[in-house]
């Protein structure tokens, strides 16, 4: 393994030379092609110098991550379990409160209906007896009867640091029915198709083309 400073200097020098190349003649083209060998050699030297350092650092990092995750991941899972239980309890208590609210409202509606019918019957009798003003007053009272139900509180205690927000998620039930604007082309699969067919077949909405790629050893 070479000295790091020497490798760094070679790499920087090679990069400067590569940046300075301007191909204007066949001779320079040949020199540039030959220079690829110098770049390849510099790449090998950099890898041979730094790969052991990278491997050692990666091994240490991997071990540290494994030690951390040994305890951290179960804690994350535990947090998720408790949050799910809290959310389930909250939803159930809200469902119970809503059901009770509907029951109380139905009772209030029925009570109000009976009160209106009672007043309307009294108004009808007053009208039959010619007591027009009393009949109108009773009709007005009947119209003003309101069904009042007490507000049911949700049985979930207030806890500092705990809050809820409404979130939305999706589940694709039929991928064929998803609107086109929400579908992303699979570019990896399309490129594989282009390489396999070598331009002999086409795909709607896609331009398949070839390009020259330089390789060197």
63-115 pLDDT, tens digit each: 999 999 999 999 999 999 999 999 999 999 999 999 999 999 999 999 999 99
Q: Where are the alpha helices (DSSP H) in 129-157?
A: 132-143
**Cα–Cα–Cα angle for 170, 174, 176, nearest 5°?**
120
Structural domain boundaries of the chain? 4-146+179-197
Specify the pLDDT at position 144. Answer: 92
pLDDT at 173: 94
- Condensed to tens digits (0 to 9), the pLDDT of residues 11-62 reads 999 999 999 999 999 999 999 999 999 999 999 999 999 999 999 999 999 9
What are the residues facing 206 on neighbouring strands?
203
Distance from C-alpha of 73 to C-alpha of 63, rounded to nearest angstrom: 15
Phi–psi pair at 186, nearest 5 degrees: -85, 90
The answer on pLDDT for 1 being more than 60 is no
pLDDT in tens, 150-207: 999 998 898 898 888 888 999 999 999 999 999 999 999 999 999 999 989 999 999 9
From CA 116, how far away is CA 118, in angstroms rounded?
5
**Closest by CA position to 152, among listed 101, 91, 89:** 101
Burial (CB < 10 A; 0-12, 13-18, 19+), residue 116, is: middle
Rg (CA), the chain: 40
Q: Whole-prediction pTM value?
A: 0.61
Distances (CA, A) of 115 to 76, 142, 182: 58, 7, 56
pLDDT for position 196: 96
Mean pLDDT score of the chain: 93
Q: What pLDDT was estimated at residue 213?
A: 85
Give the mean pLDDT of 104-131: 93
């Amino acid at each position: 393994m070479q000295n790091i400073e020497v490798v760094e200097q070679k790499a920087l020098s090679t990069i400067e030379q590569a940046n300075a190349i301007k191909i204007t003649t066949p001779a320079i083209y040949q020199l540039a092609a030959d220079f690829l060998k110098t770049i390849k050699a510099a790449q090998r030297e950099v890898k041979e110098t730094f790969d052991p350092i990278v491997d050692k650092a990666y091994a240490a990092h991997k071990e540290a991550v494994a030690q951390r995750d040994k305890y951290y991941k179960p804690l994350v899972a535990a947090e998720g379990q408790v949050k799910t239980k809290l959310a389930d309890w909250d939803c159930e208590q809200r469902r119970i409160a809503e059901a009770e609210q509907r029951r109380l409202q139905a009772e209030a509606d029925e009570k109000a209906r009976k009160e209106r019918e009672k007043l309307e019957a009294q108004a009808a009798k007053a009208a039959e007896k010619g007591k027009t003003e009393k009949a109108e007053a009773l009709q007005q009272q009947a119209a003003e009867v309101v069904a009042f139900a007490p507000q049911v509180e949700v049985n979930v205690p207030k806890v500092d640091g705990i809050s809820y927000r409404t979130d939305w998620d999706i589940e694709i039930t039929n991928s064929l029915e998803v609107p086109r604007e929400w579908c992303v082309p699979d570019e990896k699969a399309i490129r594989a198709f282009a390489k396999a067919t070598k331009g002999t077949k086409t795909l709607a909405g896609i331009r398949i083309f070839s390009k020259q790629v330089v390789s060197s050893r």
